[in-house]
Chains A and B, each alone.
Chain A
Amino acid sequence: MNIHAIKAIYFFEMARTFRTLLQSIISPVISTALYFIVFGSAIGSRMVAIEGVSYGAFIVPGLIMLTVLMQSVTNASFGIYFPKFIGTIYEPLSAPVSYFEIVVGYVGAAATKSFVIGLIILATSFLFVPVQIAHPFWMLGFLLLTCLSFSLLGFIIGIWARNFEQLNLVPSLIITPLVFLGGSFYSISMLPPFWQTATLFNPIVYLVSGFRWSFFDTADVAVSYSLAAIFVFSVLCVSVISWIFKTGYRLKN
């Protein structure tokens, strides 16, 4: 195991985060704070409580998920796309590092960044709405697993993308709608019966539900399903990545 290489990649990527601290941390926090003000305080005060939880608090897990999913995908995809774009990818590819070490370095850094952003947003939410956390350990666990699995997805997108348009395509065209329709702002029991069933095909429903359970002890789907969903999703991503490195897809000639 080339620990020095993992550290080198990880800290090199984290250095990029610190160089661009403003865009990296401040902007997601500000945009989420706006959601809290509009949905939590302004609109939320006129909404009825959902399953005994005030609407302002109810949307906190969904909002954190929204940001964390987007951040994980964009951080990780950019992290690997940028070296491809400027050509510096030649170095990790010609270094004595295994694919596993490359992925740990890049995905680890991307996941760390979105994990920290998730925690900052959680802290911010305390300023706007009363939040309780029923299962803090599980809360952190769900957050971490989500950061990791979607950073894996981002890594795949970064390798697949041939240009910046493609890089933005998946987050804006797929992730955003899935998150919005995944029960971030509502309980799926509020939907008509047909959409309740349809929505179960949205993987993000399981993430948001599990994460919300760790806060309020109520869930749309069983917690075990949520865990299984993250697990299956991660395994899928890891399989795709190992295929990428085995074949050199869009990395090697």
Chain B
Amino acid sequence: MDPIISVTALDKTYRSGQRALKGVSLQIRSGEILALLGPNGAGKTTLISMICGLTSPSSGQITVGGYDIVTDYRAARSLIGLVPQEVALEPFEKVINTVKFSRGLFGHPPDAAYVEQILRQLSLWDKRNTPIKELSGGMKRRVLIAKALSHQPKILFLDEPTAGVDVELRKDMWDVVGKLKASGVTIVLTTHYIEEAEAIADRVGVIADGDILLVEDKDKLMAQMGIKELYIELQKPIKAIPPALASYDLWLAEDGGRLTYVYDTKAERTGITGLLTDLSAAGLALRDLRTSQSSLEDIFVDLVKD
């Protein structure tokens, strides 16, 4: 299937000389939820801003729904709804008017029933005639989402949607995201909360320092998370792994004092019991045993620190 968003060799150097993106390429599949993970300043927002037309690329190409975002900007942008990271709303305008404004801006005729449906879904209907400045922070965020959905986009960008958001709104938001996904909308969200990516994403992309380090199905990453390592500290260092233990996935630390055994916790048999029996049969005395489990966070930290 053709990707709904295709980013090719995208490069961005700001006037200050800072290189925010370094030749990024990314394919976003139609109908998926892609979570872009990365520390602050990694380039997540820059990437989204460029896809939405808010920032000009230094070089590279972006297509949305097959349309080039520069030459075919109308067709490309019509498909996109953007919920920006910063809460930016006209403070004196009523909630319902700013949602109607967004709908018009994206070239759609008024549709009172649809606007009502969105406002109800985001629990904003009772506040529809309230000036935005009187809303709480969480309510303002809901308004931003309502505006982004006002023109029935095929792709929704959520830039750090849950930063500073209470539990209830987060739940509502994932509810909305779930419904949108069910209706075929592609969702791209950026976050630096790993749990968030784990909870809802189909795929996870990791960005650091202007580079995409990895884009992987979340399930595959989760499978990696199922991997544990068993550290076996030996009383006496050995020079090599005894041939009797060759069938195990073992490796020896440089000083010869520790064996590391990698196993799958989800497998029917971890092989630990057998290993321990074979270790004593091989005459190796143990000083200590330790296990560690890799998490998405470990993977993430590993990737990002280089």
Contacts and interface: CB of A to CB of B under 8 A. Distances in A.
Interface of A: 2, 4-5, 7-9, 12, 15-16, 19, 83, 86-88, 90-98, 248, 252-253
Given A2-B107, A94-B82, A96-B73, A12 B101 contact: yes
Interface string B55-68: 11000000000000
A96 B153 CA distance: 12
17 contacts: A2-B107, A8-B102, A15-B97, A87-B84, A88-B90, A90-B82, A90-B84, A94-B52, A95-B106, A96-B76, A96-B107, A97-B107, A252-B56, A253-B14, A253-B15, A253-B49, A253-B56
B106 A252 contact: no
Interface residues of B, number: 36
Interface string B37-64: 0000000000001001111100000000
A87 B92 CA distance: 14
Interface of B: 14-15, 49, 52-56, 73-78, 80, 82, 84, 86, 88-93, 97, 100-109, 147
B104 A90 contact: no
B54 A8 contact: no
A98 B74 CA distance: 8
Most B CB within 10 A of own CB, among A7, A12, A248? A12
Most A CB within 10 A of own CB, among B78, B86, B104, B147? B104
B53 A93 contact: yes
What are the 9 tightest A-B residue pairs by CB atom distance, in nearest-first order?
Answer: A8-B104, A87-B88, A96-B74, A96-B77, A94-B52, A95-B105, A2-B107, A4-B104, A253-B55
Contact of B89 (A16, A86, A94): A86
A252 B88 CA distance: 16
Contact of B77 (A4, A87, A94): A94
A90 B104 CA distance: 15
B73 A86 contact: no
Nearest to A95: B105
A81 B131 CA distance: 20
A218 to B, nearest CB: 46
A9 B77 CA distance: 17
Nearest to A252: B56
Nearest to A102: B105
Contacts of A97: 105, 107
Nearest to B12: A253
A86 B56 CA distance: 21
A92 B106 CA distance: 9
A86 B90 contact: yes
Contacts of B102: 8, 91, 95
B88 A86 contact: yes
Nearest to B78: A96
A91 B56 contact: no
A73 B165 CA distance: 40
